[in-house]
Structure 1
Amino acid sequence: MNATAGTVPAYPPIPGHLRLSSRIAGALVGFLLLALAAIGATLWLSWQLEGAGAAINETGSLRKQEYRLAMLLGREVHTPGAGFDGAARAQVAAIDATLALVAQGDPQRPLGLPPTAAIRDSFDTMSAQWQREVRPLALHVLEARGEQRVLVLRHFLGVLDPYVDRIDGVVRLIESDNEVRTFWLRSSQLALMALAMGGTVALVYLMFSLIVRPVERLHAGMRSMADTDFGVRLEVDSKDEFGQLATGFNQMADRLERLYGSLEEKVRDKTAALEHKNRELALLYDSAAFLQARQTLEPMCEGFLDRILRYFGADGGSVRLTEPAGEKVHLVVQRGLPEEMVQAEHCMPLGDCLCGEAALVQQPAVHWLQPTTDAADASPCVRSGFGTVAVFQIFAQDQHLGVFSLHLRSKRHFDEREQALLETLGRLLGTAIENMRLAAREREMAISEERNMVARGLHDSIAQGLNFLNLQVQMLDDSLRQGQQQEAADIVPALRAGVKESYEDVRELLQNFRSRLEEDDLNSALRKAVRKFRDQTGIEACFQAEGTGKLPFSREEQLQILFIVQEALSNIRKHAQADSVSVRVSEEQDFSLSISDNGVGFDAFVESGIEDRRVGLHIMQERAAHINAELAIESRPGLGTTIRLHVAHGQRRAV
């Protein structure tokens, strides 16, 4: 059965006994069982031969033990009291032990009589003769006295030779049985060799018939297929996996033969689809690159609209944004719309016309317009001659910002792929608009924050100085009214000093506000600030930098650190009465800055309420918090002041 294009053929399940794996596994298991049986028989025969060999040795040793017993009895008879009695009795016990060992066997050595009735009967007869006749005579020789000993010994010797002959008979029977078993062992080994050779041949034939031959047929079919011979078919002669492979190969050949006939048409279709995809990607890339550029709202919307109009071949279009209150839709840019329509829809409520309706429901919509003879009831788009109006949403994340529309004079269908493309473009435009708004808000916040900083600086320094001058002027006016010339003359130096102090404060604030980093090098800017402080005040000041920073600071953070140093130097000039200042920077994993002077110092706890001495400290604390830094002030009366700024490695932000 041939599978139709685009469908997967269903193959019937293979019976268990016909599966290739089952047949191969069955053959291997059968061969393994035969091999194990042959090996087991060989091992059993060799075990029996080894046990019988040990039995021959032990039984044969009885002859030596019997003759040794006879020798010991003879010495005991002829030389009584020489100690041969105990040796003879020990020899009797050894013969008993040997007979018991051979009779019982020892599987660990191994040792055992062959399991035949003749050998077992002969051995039992020999053992019984020892127990009934030979052993009692040997013990009687040891127990007799005088001339009777010699007579008993002669009788024992007369019985011993036939008994040894019986032992020889048992040994010969065991040896004869061993010869038979050796023959069977050799035969089983030869059979095992034959089984190995036959099994190898059988397995090779089995593998060749089950695997090699079908694979060769498949390989030959694939080579023919590679030569564009799509008429080749394989013979299905089995119901196993290779049979299904052959069936699948034939089905694949059928399908390839059909596909090859319509290959040119499919190539054209695929090429057109790829070109369409490339155009979509080019539009997305061009739009994303254009929207990322820094620009104002109208040029950005105009460029966006021009791109989608050119891509879709639309006759007109517009971009409309909803106001924050969400009640009206404002026309930002348009292309190809009549002036009357632009004036009428420049700002319209949500729900009016097609664009307003789409903005209200926040869903894309494609409208096919029908011309009408009644111009009064016709919509502005119909009156303008448009046949299709497509409206799509502008989103930034989940926030709805507005809509954009495409106007075409003919009827046009937008498929799912084109609608998805337009929705993606709407989200790109929404993200760009939202980023522009966020950037504007960030600039406003930065300007507002800096203005607040300037206002605090003016209020905390210059305003207090002017307040002091105002009080002095009032006192001068009162003194002149009262004619106290000396008191008025004493006030004039204080006024002059206050004016000079305020002038220097204004000049220093202006200098700080105008501070800029000439290059992206914080240490150079700090060194320049310290040198300017030394030149203006005449106070000995030095700058020292150690280490190499692991992470750079942004320019905003560098400016804040520069302002902190300038504020600290200003406080030293006004309050410290110092003649030596040291500024040190240490840049490793963490950033550390210290400004030390040898001035009069102060007690932070006692003077916490004296605001005129702590104005600069408040400003420095605020700037340090702005860059996530820690600011510590160490000061004691008469011991100078040290200000330490520390920025941890985790708080340092890369440029």
Structure 2
Amino acid sequence: MPGHLRLSTRIAGALVGFLLLALTAIGTTLWLSWQLEGSAAAINETGSVRKQEYRLAMLLGRDPGAPGGRYARDARAQIAAIDTTLALIARGDPQRPLGLPPTSTIRTSFDLATLRWQRELRPLALQVLQARGDERLPPLRQFLAGVDDYVGQIDTIVGLIERDNEVRTFWLRASQLALMALAMGGTVVLVYLMFSLIVDPVERLHAGMRSMADTDFGVRLDVASRDEFGQLATGFNHMADRLEQVYGSLEDKVREKTAALEDQNRELALLYDGAAFLQVRQTLEPMCEGFIERIMRYFGADGASVRLIEPSNDKVHLVVHVGLSEEMVRAERCMPVGDCVCGEAAQGRHPVVRLLRAMPHAAPSRCAQAGFATVSVFQIFAQEQHLGVFSLHFRAEKSFNDREAALLETLGRLLGTGIENMRLAAREREMAISEERNMVARGLHDSIAQGLNFLNLQVQMLEKSLQDGDRQEAAGIVPMLRAGVQESYEDVRELLQNFRSRLEEDDLNSALRKAVRKFRAQTGVDASFAADGSGGPPFPREDQLQILFIVQEALSNIRKHAQAGKVLVRVRDGQDFSLSISDNGVGFDCAAVPAAGDSHVGLHIMRERARHINADLAIDSGRGTGTTVRLHVPSAQRRAA
């Protein structure tokens, strides 16, 4: 087969060729056997004509007897049977099968025999049946005289068919022998083809692979064809060439990969160290100094600086610097955006690397005067907010590849995130201080200021009574002044104690237990504390302080208004956090609280603190039934420390 054909095409072609030969041999055998079977049936049917002719002769030779008797019916039936048999043989029957051999001699002989029956013997037989008495003898003698000759003619036809069968039987045997030879020869040829097309190439490929497994990379396979195995051999040779080349330069590759891994490890170490350092809470200058010290050590820079942009006046301020001259620091401590290399980079918001010797300036820049040959400036971003730039100065010419540039950009974003986190923490502290001051101011205004206002009114009334000379009324006012001063003093003292409240080791229960114990010591009221469960995450310190202040405010209200003899503070800490402060005092009408205005200042303060920690505050009270303050923080709103 042509070597340029595909392996699948050659195998399929060989198999299809053998299949066609086998189908031809099998078809020939089937056709010959079918012909032999039809010829055998034709011999039987043709031979039966002789018997039928003799039977008809016997029936015609009998005494007819009465007209229309059984003799006539049998004779006529025999004539019809002969007609049917001759017609069946001439027509053939493919279902049996039955048919004369397709040779002109046999067909002509049979046609002549049929024509003789139709024109000679059959009319004579009918004349015998139609004649009466002695009139039957002449046609009967003629019929009997022609029957022997006709039967001989039929014998001749049967002999021709038998000889034709012998020839066809010979060819059937020959075709069967050819089919056997084809099967054996085809098997041998297919085995040879399989070995030559598949087994031998696979063996050669396997031998080559064994040699290559033994590090013999010089082995090559002969490409004898362009089929799949030829392509495999070509690919194997290419692979061997590549492996030989790679194996020869393996040490260089390993050395390059090791160097690349070391560079990547150094980059990761720098990123990790920088990220860990920038997460530490510190002020701006130490943060920026630690940052530039790390990148200077990594890149071998001779100087560095960090500059932040002031958006209000488009100024770039120098925050920290290392390795820069005092003259440069004085000149560039605050410069407009767009001035010098750092200002240009800050204005363009993209990295800039400048070789100062190649800059076409009439007067050298301050960096060049300081002896630097290369200045590189990279941006500081926090999310999409541009905060400033940081620069690296080199006394030799320095360039950065894509990986180093990407590393510096990432470090710039880390620094920007650290600066922004520091600013956010400062704003958060300012907001917390401002909010706490507002609460303190409201507490002072709504408690001590009211007491002082009351005292002011009483002093005015005392002054008026003294002017009027009403000593009895003045004497009644003095105890009220003393009670007001005492209450204001106690309010101030309680506020100062609340301001000094601190959590011990972030333990909320310990702080609450201490507050209840202090309340019991100051008032003599039977106060107790109970805590159940510890399944929830700890609160942040600020939220714990708010909860402590709510309890202190509730205890203060109990001291001032409840006239209680027993107080219970209970904490249930699970996935949800629940706190209750219950007393058995006089209670009050909860429905009247919104209309009471400033008389229930403590309740408003507690509600504000509850909203600050995303908690729900509920108060259950009635006149003569005591009061219960409930604080609930659901798990969905609970902030973990």
The TM-score with structure 2 as length reference comes to 0.69
Pairs aligned (count): 495
Q: 1:339 aligned to 2:326?
A: yes
- Contact 1:552–1:652, Cα closer than 8 Å, also in 2: no
- Contact 2:7–2:197, Cα closer than 8 Å, also in 1: no
Q: Which of 247, 268, 271 lines up with 2:234 in the alignment?
A: 247
CA distance in 1 between counterparts of 2:252 and 2:481 reads 98
2:612 equivalent in structure 1: 626
1:136 equivalent in structure 2: none
2:630 equivalent in structure 1: 644
- Contact 2:372–2:394, Cα closer than 8 Å, also in 1: yes
Q: Which of 248, 271, 284 lines up with 2:271 in the alignment?
A: 284
Q: Which of 258, 278, 301 lines up with 1:314 in the alignment?
A: 301
CA distance in 2 between counterparts of 1:243 and 1:623 reads 85
**Cα-Cα RMSD:** 3.8
Q: CA deviation at 1:568?
A: 0.9
CA distance in 2 between counterparts of 1:415 and 1:569 reads 68
Q: Which amino acid aligns with 2:317?
A: H
SS at match of 1:518: coil
Q: CA deviation at 1:200?
A: 11
For each residue in 1:76-127, what CA deviation from the matched residue of structure 2 results, as whole angstroms up to 9, or x when unmatched?
xxxxxxxxxxxxxxxxxxxxxxxxxxxxxxxxxxxxxx96479xxxxxxxxx
CA distance in 2 between counterparts of 1:460 and 1:619 reads 10
For each residue in 1:466-494, what CA deviation from the matched residue of structure 2 results, as whole angstroms up to 9, or x when unmatched?
11111111111221222211111111111
CA distance in 2 between counterparts of 1:462 and 1:207 reads 110
Q: 1:236 to 1:567 in 2, by over 3 A?
A: same
Q: 1:226 aligned to 2:213?
A: yes
Q: 1:268 aligned to 2:255?
A: yes
Larger radius of gyration: 2
SS at match of 1:331: strand
1:427 equivalent in structure 2: 413
SS at match of 1:386: coil
1:486 equivalent in structure 2: 472
CA distance in 2 between counterparts of 1:239 and 1:446 reads 82
SS at match of 2:591: coil
- Contact 1:575–1:613, Cα closer than 8 Å, also in 2: no
Q: CA deviation at 1:256?
A: 1.9
CA distance in 2 between counterparts of 1:218 and 1:509 reads 94
1:553 equivalent in structure 2: 539
Greater Cα shift, 237-246 or 523-532:
237-246
Structure 2 gap ranges (5+): 27-93, 99-175
1:68 equivalent in structure 2: none
- Contact 1:549–1:591, Cα closer than 8 Å, also in 2: no
1:183 equivalent in structure 2: none
Q: 1:219 to 1:517 in 2, by over 3 A?
A: farther
CA distance in 2 between counterparts of 1:632 and 1:573 reads 20
CA distance in 2 between counterparts of 1:520 and 1:331 reads 40
Q: 1:498 aligned to 2:477?
A: no
CA distance in 1 between counterparts of 2:542 and 2:281 reads 20
1:473 equivalent in structure 2: 459
- Contact 2:536–2:577, Cα closer than 8 Å, also in 1: no
Q: Which of 551, 564, 570 lines up with 1:565 in the alignment?
A: 551
CA distance in 1 between counterparts of 2:578 and 2:240 reads 76
Q: CA deviation at 1:296?
A: 1.7
Q: 1:117 to 1:26 in 2, by over 3 A?
A: closer
- Contact 2:7–2:229, Cα closer than 8 Å, also in 1: no
Structure 1 gap ranges (5+): 1-13, 39-113, 119-187
For each residue in 1:397-443, what CA deviation from the matched residue of structure 2 results, as whole angstroms up to 9, or x when unmatched?
11111111122222222222222222122111111111111111111
1:18 equivalent in structure 2: 6
Q: CA deviation at 1:359?
A: 1.0
For each residue in 1:608-628, what CA deviation from the matched residue of structure 2 results, as whole angstroms up to 9, or x when unmatched?
232343111101101111111
- Contact 1:630–1:645, Cα closer than 8 Å, also in 2: yes
Q: Which of 562, 565, 582 lines up with 1:576 in the alignment?
A: 562
Q: Which amino acid aligns with 2:413?
A: R
CA distance in 2 between counterparts of 1:25 and 1:509 reads 105
SS at match of 1:614: helix
Q: CA deviation at 1:385?
A: 2.5
Once the two structures are superposed, the pairs formed by residues 112-123 of structure 1 within 5 Å of their partners are 116=96
2:526 equivalent in structure 1: 540
- Contact 2:338–2:347, Cα closer than 8 Å, also in 1: yes
1:143 equivalent in structure 2: none
SS at match of 1:610: helix
- Contact 1:20–1:210, Cα closer than 8 Å, also in 2: no
2:119 equivalent in structure 1: none
Q: CA deviation at 1:606?
A: 2.7
Q: Which of 396, 406, 422 lines up with 1:410 in the alignment?
A: 396
Q: Which amino acid aligns with 2:287?
A: M
